[in-house]
Amino acid sequence: MTLGTAGLVSIQSVLDAAATLRGFVLRTPCLPSPELSERVGVPVHLKCENLQVGGAFKARGAYTFLSRRSQAERSRGVVTYSSGNHGRAVALAARALGSRATVVVPVDIPPVKVKALVALDAEVVTEGTTSLERQRRAEALARASGSLIIPPFDDPDIIAGQGTVGLEIVEDVPDVAAVVAPVGGGGLISGVALAVKARRPRARVVGVEPVGAASMRASLDAGAPVTLSRVETVADGLKPVRPGDLTFAHVRQSVDDVVTVSDDEILDAVVFGFRACKLVLEPSGAAGVAALLARRLSLSRGPVVVVLSGGNVEPSLYGEWLRREGQAG
């Protein structure tokens, strides 16, 4: 791990993570989207992390974190807390590096995400509905077992791993004018902003949150991390009640704006992804598309790259969403 100024993650740490990740994660495509380009009037590309190992960008951070620990630490086992995708990423990384994983998940986790964890031989523990409830249970389990705890977002190695998404964006679209990414706890947007600004300082980086779980937007407005008393959104991967201290610092320094979208707009984007782009997106992964379709961004030029952060969707719910009537087309 290499920290830069003000205790933030350095671009060298992201570059080191990219080297470590070769052979474990996929170099996901950054595909032009004629459909979105026509809608918003500037060229749009889609960074398809929904096609990543484990179905989401999370594999990058989890493997980076665990690979930077000693074999002695890994041998004690690892514990994490997750709405699903980070837990699956930790289980994948643990299996690759010879460790065992315990994942604390919410009681309302989609069954498809539980099945994925079980298939990777992870121990699954359910606890509450909020990220703080899961965190407390995971920390208690780690203390009792002596296991290593892997946080989902607020850690320099997690941020460095997620930052490799930004490196690939700039390499594949060198003239990128704006990057749009979902915001949950802030690990993805922090890493992406760090990498993009280091390589293309004039590019805008914009985060997108659900209206019902906009903890980063509330924290930016307050000038410090705040804890929401309640979160409610269809985007289960974007429901932390509080951003991390480190991710908040990164967002405040490097992210140009954080906008919000409604659940209806997110589901319209899920449908648009399938019908127009032939891509399967979970609601969290469709948040950036929702912001474009709902005209939340001021786009005077392009190209724009939208990060599709995940595609792990419950089949029964997905079928319901695809039958929606509306403007998704």
Residue length, the chain? 329
Active-site hit among 58, 113, 197, 239:
58
DSSP secondary structure string for all residues of 180-206: EEE-SSSHHHHHHHHHHHHH-TTSEEE
Q: What is the pLDDT of residues 233-270, one digit of tens each?
A: 999 889 889 999 999 999 999 999 999 999 999 999 99
Report CA-CA distances (Å) from 30 to 91, 202, 228. Answer: 26, 20, 34
Q: What is the mean pLDDT of residues 299-311?
A: 93
**Hey, what domains does the chain have and what are their CATH numbers?**
5-56+155-322 (3.40.50.1100), 58-150 (3.40.50.1100)
Establish whether 58 is a catalytic residue: yes
Mean pLDDT of 293-298: 93
In percent, the amount of the chain with pLDDT more than 90 equals: 84
The residue annotated as part of the active site, out of 13, 131, 284, 309, is: 309
Q: Largest Cα–Cα distance of the chain, in whole Å?
A: 55
Report d(CA 294, CA 290) in Å as an integer: 6
**What average pLDDT is seen over the chain?**
93
Tokens standing for 256?
Answer: 């140009």
* Threshold 0.85, pTM exceeds: yes
Tokens of 108: 């309302």
Helix and strand numbers (H, E) in the chain are 14, 10
pLDDT per position as a tens digit, 80-91: 998 888 999 999
Model confidence at 227: pLDDT above 80:
yes
Is 215 among the catalytic positions?
no
Q: In what order do the strands lie in the sheet with 257-261?
A: 30-32, 44-48, 304-308, 178-182, 204-210, 257-261
| Lowest-confidence segment of 223-232, 303-312, 314-323 by average pLDDT | 314-323
Q: Cα separation of 166 and 131, whole Å? A: 26
pLDDT band for position 190 (50/70/90)?
very high
